[in-house]
């Protein structure tokens, strides 16, 4: 199959959607590469262009390291599967639908949403003080990190309003006693957000495990560093990092663009 075009079984998939499918499958592979997976659980989604508000999410049961563009499921904001002509079951994770549909309904500025259950992310989500401003990675999120209280497995669609309210205008959120959520205007930006939020949590867990007194930068330095990270032109840096990261999975088989 030509990896630049969709397979015949995906009727109606144009070039723009196929490109998003390939990028989203690559993001799944990269999340697996950096060991941010939880077997078949957790999920990543990407909004598709158009007035229908459709988005792509993983075919429930496919491991992240084997995800292909054709494995991704297109659904609407009601959870209905759209556009597949093959005979395979196309089940999606119900909790994944709740979390991702909430963001895609309320934040049209965000294209991609990543949710993880890593050991470090869960550990920090259970710490009362949340993410501490003790590392450069953490300061990237200073003043723009949200928190959402745990309500159980996210199967209740009424939780969507509370998720959106707690996220506010931020692009990253810690789900208390649960894990991490990171969003991006592009897929490369979402990858950068989840990568560095995860790294910040890893650093915090290890720093606290050392038992020594921690140094916190003064408030002025925290704000200055956060502003440096939030400067104009960041999308270009995200794209550069993304292109470099794609080389990490270029030789994987089966090809993620399949």
Which pLDDT tens digit goes with each residue over 20-50? 999 999 999 999 999 999 999 999 999 999 8
Could you tell me what percent of the chain has a pLDDT over 90?
Answer: 83
Per-residue b/e over 217-253, b at no fewer than 16 CB within 10 Å? beeeebeebbeebeeeeeeeebeeebeebbeebeeee
> Is 252 part of any domain?
no
Q: pLDDT tens digits for 170-228? A: 999 999 999 999 999 999 999 999 999 999 999 999 999 999 999 999 999 999 999 99
CATH number at residue 172: 3.40.225.10
The reply to whether omega before 254 is within 30° of 0 (cis) is: yes
pLDDT recorded at residue 231: 87
Retrieve residue 149's tokens: 């209280």
Q: 61 lies in which domain range? A: 15-246
Indicate the pairing of strand 145-148 with strand 112-116. unpaired
Q: How many domains does the chain have?
A: 1
> Is there a domain that residue 201 lies in?
yes
- Structure token pair of residue 178: 């649960």
Q: How are strands ordered across the β-sheet holding 172-175?
A: 73-75, 55-57, 43-47, 112-116, 179-184, 172-175, 145-148
Yes or no: say if 4 and 167 are a contact pair by the CB < 8 Å rule: no
């Amino acid at each position: 199959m030509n990896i630049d075009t969709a397979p015949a079984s995906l009727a109606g998939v144009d070039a723009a959607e196929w490109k998003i499918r390939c990028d989203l499958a690559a993001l799944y592979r990269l999340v697996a590469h950096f060991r941010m997976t939880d077997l078949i659980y957790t999920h990543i989604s990407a909004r598709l262009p158009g007035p229908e508000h459709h988005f792509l999410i993983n075919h429930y049961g496919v491991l992240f390291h084997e995800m292909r563009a054709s494995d991704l499921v297109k659904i609407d904001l009601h959870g209905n599967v759209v556009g597949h002509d093959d005979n395979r079951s196309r089940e999606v994770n119900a909790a994944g639908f709740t979390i991702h549909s909430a963001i895609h309904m309320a934040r049209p500025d965000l294209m991609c949403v990543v949710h993880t259950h890593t050991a470090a992310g869960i550990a920090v989500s259970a710490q009362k003080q949340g993410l501490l401003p003790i590392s450069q990675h953490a300061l990237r999120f200073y003043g723009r990190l949200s928190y959402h209280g745990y309500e159980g497995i996210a199967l209740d669609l009424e939780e969507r309003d509370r998720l959106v309210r707690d996220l506010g205008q931020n692009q990253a959120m810690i789900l208390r006693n649960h894990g991490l959520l990171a969003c991006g205007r592009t897929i490369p930006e979402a990858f950068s957000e989840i990568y560095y939020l995860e790294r910040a949590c890893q650093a915090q867990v290890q720093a606290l495990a050392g038992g020594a007194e921690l140094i916190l930068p003064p408030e002025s330095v925290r704000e200055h560093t956060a502003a440096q990270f939030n400067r104009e032109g960041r999308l270009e840096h995200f794209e550069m990092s993304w292109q470099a990261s794609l080389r990490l999975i270029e030789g994987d088989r089966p090809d993620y663009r399949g």
